[in-house]
Each structure stands twice: as C-alpha cells, then as structure tokens.
C-alpha cells in the first residue's frame, strides 16, 4: 500500500510507492551517460584565458590573477542565464508579466584536478569551497536588486552537467524562486503560531525518532526528508538553529565539509556513483527587503538553512511534470537504513577507488 506524505516545508504532497520499485528495471532507471569531453578543458589550470575573468580565487601568495596556481576559482558563467546589467524593468507584455533577466550566474571550480569529484577533496580543501560559497553569497547580497542566491551543483550528464571538471554554480535571481517563497511562508507561519523555528522542531522530531537519520557529524544532521521527492534524497542541516549561511564560521565550515563528504561518499559507494545534484537553501537577501515589517524582523528566528542532495536515479515523467506531485518508490526510512549501512571508512573508500581504477 502506498502512502501520501505532505512536505511541511512547501506543502507539496508526494507519493511513497514501494510497489513501483518492482517494475522492469525498477528504481534505478537512469543510464549514467558519460559527458562528452571538451578539449581543452576550460576549467583546468593553464586554460584560464578560456573563461571569463575570475571574480574570486584562492591561490598561494605570489600567484597571478587569471593564471594557474589556484585551489578554487570563481568566474561568470560564459553562457549565463542571467546577467548583472541594468534595472529590473518589470513590465506587461499584453496580459503577461515580464522583467529583464537581471541577476548573476557564476561558476565555482572546486579543484584544479580535472577528474576529482567533490568527495575526493580533503577536509580543508572542501571547507575552502564551502567558504567560497559563503563569500560569494555575502558579496552578491550587497546588490539590492538581487533577492536570492541559489548555489547548486550538477554532477554527471543526467544531472545536467555539460562539463566534466568538478564545479558548482550559483544563480542570483531578482525575485524569490517559488520553492524558496513557499519555504519562507511555511517558516513564518509556524513562527507566528508557535514562536519557534519550524525546522528546529522537525529536527528535534527526527533525532528523537531516528528512522530517517543517516548520520550526525561535526554539528550537522544528515537525514532522509519525510516527504522526499526523489529516492535517496538527503538533507544536511546545522543541528543548532542557524538562519544564515552568510554567517557560517570557519569552524562550522569544517564540520559541514565533514558532513558533506560523508554524504557524498555514501551516495557514491552505496548507490553506484550516480549522477547527482545538490542545492543550498540559504537565507534570502535581507538587504533587498523593507526594514520594517515583512520577514526582515523575524527571519533570524524563523529561518534555518539546509543543503539538499538529489541522486539522479530515476527519470522524471509526465505525471510529475503535469501534476507537481512526485512518486518516490523508495521510502525515506529505507533509504536512510541503506545509507547508514554504507561503510565509508578510509579503508573502504581506498578499496572502492582501487576497484574502480582496475
């Protein structure tokens, strides 16, 4: 018997239907098509002239901008969805609403090593990437035309990546994305009624219940959300109330690096190294909202940031596109049990890497 579950963060119902996993080819339906190599790789050291000029880079003292020697490098996406010039220019087009594509679209190359995944980085290197996310968010939020910055990562062709070299992206938008607006509304409504953070309440329940917890690590909780849209969806969030990714400390970034690496390794070793996406649901831009009223006053109390990982295991089909309803054949409790059991010790990872090379 399947079950409908409502996501308390965006009020969307999803269907948990374990029966669907018995279909021909079952739950794991996506072919992991390789990305066609682009030669030369524009993200490799020495090819900096093939990208737009860098916005931010971490490099040893003495290195030159837009030359090699960097550990992390950020620049504008060469094929941007949104660009920074001009005003919003909201206007009508007949019966429709339109505005100019004001925003930002940046690429964060996380490592100079072409064939490294994020989970191949060591703790300090991964921490630096996470601090770069923070620094770009803080910098972009000085621009009050930008309402939101979404940080995301596409790994593998089926997850939408067109380049193989390890990278994340961010898109800054002039309106709050609909998933963020719905989440902000849910958070605010809960706080209005209870004067507590909705997410803190949910985390307390999850940690008490335990069935969906995958790991607690470095001040972060990793778990399978109750109303996961996708099989093996994973959420990582600070155990304590934290409303702002922009205020992430170096120490917290160390903990998040450990938690993220742990989760990525569980996906790679436990699910056969599938394509995946992750997204950071950070706070919206407080500089872009009126100082009085609205969420400016309460966001510090009602919002709680999260990082969400989506392994791309099944194609999304007509029912989902047409309804906004998602069918998930893997109950989150089963996903959590499986991922909890994956051995991600150094020895297991080394053995997995050796087997993969052979």
Residues 214-273 within binding reach of its own copies (CB under 8 A): 226-227
Closer of 172 and 253 to its own copies (Cβ): 172
Helix (H) or strand (E) holding 266: helix 250-271
Beta carbon of residue 64, minimum distance to its own copies (angstroms, whole number):
27
> Which strands, in side-by-side order, build the sheet including 54-59?
54-59, 70-76, 104-109, 167-173, 148-155, 276-281, 306-311, 234-238, 220-223, 213-217
Residues 172-191 that bind its own copies (CB under 8 A): 173-175, 177-180
Beta carbon of residue 346, minimum distance to its own copies (angstroms, whole number):
29
Specify whether the CB–CB gap between 264 and 152 falls below 8 A: no
Closer of 114 and 205 to its own copies (Cβ): 205
Residues 4-43 that bind its own copies (CB under 8 A): 4-6, 8, 11-13, 15-17, 19-20, 22-25, 29, 31, 33, 36, 38
**Residue 58 contacts its own copies per CB under 8 A:** no
Residues 286-345 that bind its own copies (CB under 8 A): 308, 310, 314-319, 321-325, 327
Pick one of 50, 99, 348, 350: the residue that binds its own copies (CB under 8 A): 99
Only one of the segments 50-58, 130-138, 162-170, 255-263 lies at the binding site for its own copies (rule: CB under 8 A); that segment is 162-170
Only one of the segments 158-166, 254-262, 288-296, 338-346 lies at the binding site for its own copies (rule: CB under 8 A); that segment is 158-166
Specify whether the CB–CB gap between 329 and 231 falls below 8 A: yes
Specify whether the CB–CB gap between 180 and 281 falls below 8 A: yes
DSSP string, 307-336: EEEEE--S---HHHHHHS-EEESS-HHHHH
User: How far, in Å, CA of 88 to CA of 77, rounded?
Assistant: 20
Specify whether the CB–CB gap between 37 and 58 falls below 8 A: no
């Amino acid at each position: 018997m399947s079950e409908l579950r409502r996501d308390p963060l965006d009020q969307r119902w999803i269907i948990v239907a374990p029966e669907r996993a018995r279909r021909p080819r079952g739950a794991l339906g996506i072919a992991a098509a390789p990305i066609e190599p682009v030669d030369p790789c524009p993200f490799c050291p020495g090819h900096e002239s093939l990208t737009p000029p860098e916005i931010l880079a971490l490099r040893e003292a003495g290195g030159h901008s837009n030359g090699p020697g960097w550990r992390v490098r950020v620049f504008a996406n060469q094929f941007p969805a949104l660009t920074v010039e001009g005003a919003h220019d909201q206007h009508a087009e007949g019966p429709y609403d339109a505005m100019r594509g004001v925003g930002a679209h940046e690429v964060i190359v996380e490592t100079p090593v072409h064939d490294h995944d994020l989970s191949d980085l060591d703790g300090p290197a991964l921490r630096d990437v996470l601090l770069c996310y923070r620094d770009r968010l803080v910098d972009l939020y000085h621009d009050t035309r930008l309402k939101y910055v979404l940080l995301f990562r596409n790994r593998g062709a089926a997850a939408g990546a067109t380049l193989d070299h390890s990278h994340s992206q961010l898109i800054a938008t002039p309106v709050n994305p609909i998933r963020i607006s719905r989440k902000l509304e849910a958070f605010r409504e809960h706080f209005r009624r209870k004067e507590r953070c909705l997410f803190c309440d949910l985390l307390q329940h999850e940690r008490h219940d335990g069935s969906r917890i995958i790991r607690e690590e470095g001040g972060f909780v990793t778990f399978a959300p109750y109303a996961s849209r996708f099989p093996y969806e994973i959420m990582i969030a600070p155990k304590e109330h934290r409303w702002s990714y922009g205020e992430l400390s170096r120490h917290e970034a160390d903990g998040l690096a450990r938690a993220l690496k742990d989760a990525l390794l569980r996906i790679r070793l436990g699910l056969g190294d599938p394509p995946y996406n992750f997204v950071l649901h950070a706070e919206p831009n407080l500089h872009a909202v009126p100082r009085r009223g609205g969420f400016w006053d309460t966001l510090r109390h009602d919002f709680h940031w999260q990082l969400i990982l989506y392994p791309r295991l099944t194609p999304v089909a007509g029912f989902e596109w047409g309804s906004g309803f998602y069918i998930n054949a893997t109950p989150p409790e089963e996903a959590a049990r499986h991922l909890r059991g994956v051995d991600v010790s150094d020895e297991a990872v080394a053995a997995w890497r050796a087997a993969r090379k052979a």
